[in-house]
Amino acid sequence: MSDAVADVSGAAGVAETAAAAARPEKEAEKEAEAEKEAEASPTAGLPLRPALEAVLMVVDEPVTAGHLAKVLDRRPREISDALRELSDEYTVQGRGFDLRHVAGGWRFYTRAAYAPAVEGFVLDGQQSRLTQAALETLAVVAYRQPVSRSRVSAVRGVNCDGVMRTLLQRGLIAEAGTEDGTGAILYRTTNYFLERMGLRGLDELPELAPFLPDADAVEGESQEGVPSFDVDDET
C-alpha cells in the first residue's frame, strides 16, 4: 500500500515539475506574440494622447472614436476616455481651441471667446488676390458642381483641402448637400462668385472646348474634365 502511495506521489511531483518548466516557455511565447503584434502595427507603440492630437489636426470633419481606435490599434473605450481627458485638459488650460464631440465624432474647434481673432484673420485674407491654385480649383467647382473635395483633388492631381477652405472663407463656394452613397460633402459656386466673375448665371461660363484640345482623351482616362483656363480675379 505504501509503495502505491509513493508511486502516486512521485507521478504528481513529476507532473508538477513539468508544468513549472512549461510556464516560462508559455510566457516567452506570449511575449513573442506581443512583439510581433507591435511590429505589425506601427501605431500601437505610440503614446496615445499625442497620437490622437496628431490625427485630429488633419481631419476636416468629426471622426468617431471607433475609427480612431482602428487607426491607432487601441480599444474604443481607451480612445473615448483619452478624448474626454484631452477635452477637459484644454478647457482647464484655457486653450484657444477646443476638442468637441459633435455629430457622432470628435474634432478641434476654435473657442468662441477668440472669434474676433479668427474673424480678423479671415477678413484680412479676403483682401488678397486668389492664387493660381485657388483659381484652378474654383474653375473645377464651377464646371463640375455640385462636386466633392475628393473629386476636385482628382481633377487637379493634388490635395485641394486647404484651397477649398480658402474659397469657402471668401464666400466663392458653399456646401450643397451630400453625395449619395459616400456621404461626402458637395460644393457649388455662390452668387458672390457670379458677381466677382461678372456673370448673370452659370450658363454664361465660357465653353471648355477651346481650352481643352484633348478633352475626349482626358475624360476617358480620368472620368473628369480638367479645366485649365485662367480666371481674372480683379479686386
One digit per residue, pLDDT tens: the chain, 235 residues? Answer: 555 545 545 555 555 655 555 555 666 566 656 555 545 578 878 899 999 999 999 887 889 999 999 999 999 999 999 999 999 999 999 999 999 888 788 999 889 899 888 888 776 655 557 788 888 899 999 999 999 999 999 888 888 888 999 899 888 999 998 888 888 899 999 988 887 777 778 888 887 655 544 434 444 444 444 444 444 444 3
Phi-psi region of 186 (alpha: psi -120 to 50; beta: other; left: phi over 0): beta
pLDDT score recorded for residue 45: 82
> 77-113: per-residue pLDDT in tens?
999 999 999 999 999 999 999 998 887 889 998 898 9
H/E run at residue 59: none
pTM, two decimal places: 0.42
pLDDT score recorded for residue 48: 93
| CA distances (Å), origin 181, targets 10, 103, 145, 178, 229 | 70, 18, 17, 9, 31
pLDDT score recorded for residue 214: 44
